[in-house]
Amino acid sequence: MAAKKVPVIPLPGTNGYPMIGLGTFTIFERRGSNDEVKEAVKCAIDCGYRSLDCALVYQNESSVGQAVADKIRDGVVKREDLFITTKLWDTHHNPANIRENCMKSLNNLKCGYIDLYLIHWPFGFEDGDEYFPMGDDGKARFSDHDYVDVWKGMEKLVDEGLVKSIGLSNFNESQIERVIKSCRIKPSNLQIEVHPYFSNKKLVDFCTANGITVTAYAPLGNPNRTWAGDKDPVVFDEPILKEIAERKKKSIAQVCLRFLLQRNIVVIPKSVNPQRIKENIDILDFELSDEEMKAIWSLDSGKRFYIEAIAKTHKYYPFDDVK
């Protein structure tokens, strides 16, 4: 199959950040074994994906790494052709543990260096190997490591050449400002929830004004999430999106992804389905009109679907709109 040529945006320390990538967050939703993730990554590379979005907490980095190693061995890609993102997990916010977490991801991914390394959340859980440490009272056990100190540890990884660029995930505006005021290396990217029902416009505009690129996770609203409410809207049932998709002879998923691309937002749709993987990158041969963009904007309800509820009482919990 002919590989797609995906546009890239500049990112400090890298050869550019592809605007379409493969998300690998599948393991928690029981949709995608590690073998399926491995095959999904191989399929994505064959289709032209050059960006892979990972995280230690997804518990499938080794499968991603094996797929990448196989494709490099087969001569399909070189390491420098790929852009690999992964994330520092919340139980490694102790500055003394940051390098260890990074090395664990590097060993899993077998990639030599990480192109973009993100702080997954601004809050931390109790240090240790348990991803979500819980007390006998059923509540999460927190750490109080300051994310500004965590950022200083991230900067050292750049100095050491382990990572090319560093950024944030799920931070709010005031938290980002605080990092910027104290940093030596400015955050290059913010990964946040963005989809037709949650435009996150104010935060995206803030990042744009400050030279920070934005990546949208859950760009389709992740309608199959296990915690979805019965009354939560679903993009695939949305009449406005159906009408635009029919007019463009594209799928609703392709319309949603194109909407974000035209907002200059990187998209990382996740799938282990080969047909959907191919479909999600096939969004470069059409454009949405101003009227169509406006129609999709009208769907914004300000409702986020990812709230990480177990951390709501942490002093660094980022979502002021979550009650």
* Cβ proximity of 169 and 317 under 8 Å: no
Q: How far apart are CA 35 and CA 236, in angstroms?
A: 28
Of all residues in the chain, what percent carry a pLDDT higher than 90?
Answer: 90
Tell me the CATH number at 149: 3.20.20.100
The more confidently predicted of residues 67 and 222 is: 67
Would you say residue 320 lies in a domain? no
* Cβ proximity of 214 and 204 under 8 Å: yes
Task: Round the CA-based radius of gyration of the chain to a whole number and report it.
Answer: 19
Would you say residue 74 lies in a domain? yes
pLDDT digits 0-9 by tens, 43-65 = 999 999 999 999 999 999 999 99
Tell me the pairing of strands 124-125 and 142-143.
Answer: antiparallel
Buried b / exposed e over 118-148, threshold 16 CB at 10 Å, is bbbbbbbbbbeeeeebeeeeeebbbbebbbe
What residues are paired with 169 via a beta bridge? Answer: 191
* Residue 233 phi, psi dihedral angles, 5° rounding: -70, 155
Would you say residue 112 lies in a domain? yes
Token pair 């074994």: residue: 33
23's enclosing H/E stretch is: strand 22-23
* Cβ proximity of 278 and 45 under 8 Å: no
* Residue 35 reports pLDDT greater than 90: no
Would you say residue 120 lies in a domain? yes
pLDDT digits 0-9 by tens, 65-118 = 999 999 999 999 999 999 999 999 999 999 999 999 999 999 999 999 999 999
Would you say residue 1 lies in a domain? no
User: What's the mean per-residue pLDDT of the chain?
Assistant: 95
Flag whether the pTM goes above 0.75.
Answer: yes
Would you say residue 322 lies in a domain? no
* Residue 31 reports pLDDT greater than 60: no
* Residue 323 reports pLDDT greater than 70: no
Provide the annotated binding site for substrate.
120
Both tokens of residue 17?
């950040």
Would you say residue 182 lies in a domain? yes
Catalytic residue among 17, 49, 58, 316: 58
* Residue 23 reports pLDDT greater than 70: yes
* Cβ proximity of 25 and 270 under 8 Å: yes
* Residue 316 phi, psi dihedral angles, 5° rounding: -105, 15
Residue range(s) defining the domain that contains residue 125: 8-311
Q: How far apart are CA 103 and CA 153, in angstroms?
A: 13
Overall number of domains in the chain? 1
* Cβ proximity of 117 and 123 under 8 Å: no
Least confident of 26-40, 83-97, 137-151, 290-304: 26-40
Q: How far apart are CA 216 and CA 187, in angstroms?
A: 16
Residue 58 a catalytic site member: yes
Would you say residue 118 lies in a domain? yes
